[in-house]
Amino acid sequence: MTASRPPGRPPLLPGLMHLGAGLLALACLAHVLWAGPVERPVALAFGALVALGELTRRTSAETREAAPLAAAGALAYALLGHVAGTPTHHGVAQTVTVVLAASLLGSVPHVARGRGPVPDQLARRVLTVAFAAVCFQPLSSRGVFVDGGGPAQALLLIALLVLTTLCDALLAAAAVHARTGWPFGPLLREELRGMVGITSAVCATGAVMALAVAVAGLWALPVFSVPLLLTQLSYRRYAAVRATYRQTIASLARATEIAGYTPAGHARRVAELSRAVGRDLGLSGAELTVLEYAALMHDIGQLSLVDPVPAGATACLPVPEQRRIALLGGAVVRQTGVDAAVAVVVERQADPCREQPVAARIVRAVNAYEEKSRDAGPGGGLTALEELRLATADDYAPEVVEALARVLSRGSLSVPAAG
């Protein structure tokens, strides 16, 4: 079993990221105070845009870009070289100062409600905006784009946005890896997949804003902000539908608990631990969603039993009985209209290990661990884990059991809490 991270010691990389962003912000602020701000109307306009984006921030923990309008406005200011044909001279220091000050100002109402931005998000914004500005502003101040630079400027903006997004993905994946110990490669792949969605929209909007302001002036900002605000509103509705969908699945999963077939909180604990194991094994976001839903509903087949299994412990039943309950559970899931992939995982959780999909292997191992350790008292978790290891030849996938051991070691091995 891998050693757990020493308790109480903060991860090194996020701390360095926060320190670097803080020192950079202080240096930029000192430079602006010493030299004085330039082009104040432009700074105020972009600062207001970033602050508005923060005010409309989404508070869901699962969103990839919580404040897309603020991110787009920050990138646009970093990549701004002209305003209505007039060259700008705000430079890197003022760019970072304006973006950070506006982000903090727009976050005040959220902080008052206890839902302020995560320090990682602010640090990443400072570092990525500084990176984009450092790459673009020196070239712009030297007049690289003055003579026939329209297409060249557009191509450079695209290249810089790609590099900036890659840097942001690296920072995000590295910070999560340092905090959780999840594999870096899958985390980075998940961040890069997000570039196809909201991240690409934010980058494209930022580039178009910078180009439009260069030609039409500051009036272009509200014109290009409205579509992103409408997109954000639509995404909020989509997120609300997804949240309702998940709550419906969780309610269905609790049917076995209400009927007395399984202990209270069993499905939730299995789902949480299964998702953590899936992350450790490098499953993607969509695969993790299917895994979580299947783990929530893995015992729903017990509703067809005339005589409940004692404590709902199906891991101790004969294999034919486990398969019968699993098949019945899959049939129930299909009738509820849930994704067919969830039904497949539920009905195959009792199949021979080598024939199971990865999600079914995870649900089977985690369910067995939770059942075996639930009433074992102190040290029950270690005993249950050892039993799973001894059965890896036939019943449980070795890689899943080892991933489970790593997850438990990071969170301190203990008996699952009841309820």
| Predicted confidence (pLDDT) at residue 419 exceeds the cutoff of 50 | no
Is the confidence at residue 96, as pLDDT, over 90?
yes
In this predicted structure, the answer to whether residue 64 has a pLDDT above a threshold of 60 is no
- C-beta separation of 168 from 128 below 8 A: yes
> For residue 87, what is the DSSP state?
E
* In the predicted structure, residue 400 carries a pLDDT above the cut 70: yes
Note the pLDDT of residue 59. Answer: 61
End-to-end Cα distance, the chain:
28
Q: Are the C-beta atoms of 117 and 107 separated by less than 8 Å? A: yes
Write the pLDDT tens digit of every residue in 141-190. 666 555 445 566 667 777 888 888 888 888 888 877 777 777 777 778 87
Q: How far is CA 229 from CA 54, 240, 327, 354, in A?
A: 12, 17, 46, 48
CA distance 195 to 61: 18
Query: What is the bridge-based pairing of β-strands 82-83 and 86-87?
Result: antiparallel
* Separation CA 379–CA 169 (nearest Å): 40
Cα–Cα nearest to 50, from 21, 32, 74, 27? 74
Query: How far is it between the farthest Cα atoms of the chain?
Result: 83
Winning range, highest mean pLDDT, from 7-21, 196-210, 339-353: 339-353
For 263-298, what is the HEC assignment? CCCHHHHHHHHHHHHHHHCCCCHHHHHHHHHHHHCC
Residue 16 has pLDDT above 70, yes or no: yes
CA 331 to chain centre: 32
Rounded mean pLDDT of 240-249? 79
CA-based torsion, 285, 286, 292, 295: positive or negative: negative
Burial class (CB in 10 A: 0-12, 13-18, 19+), 339: middle
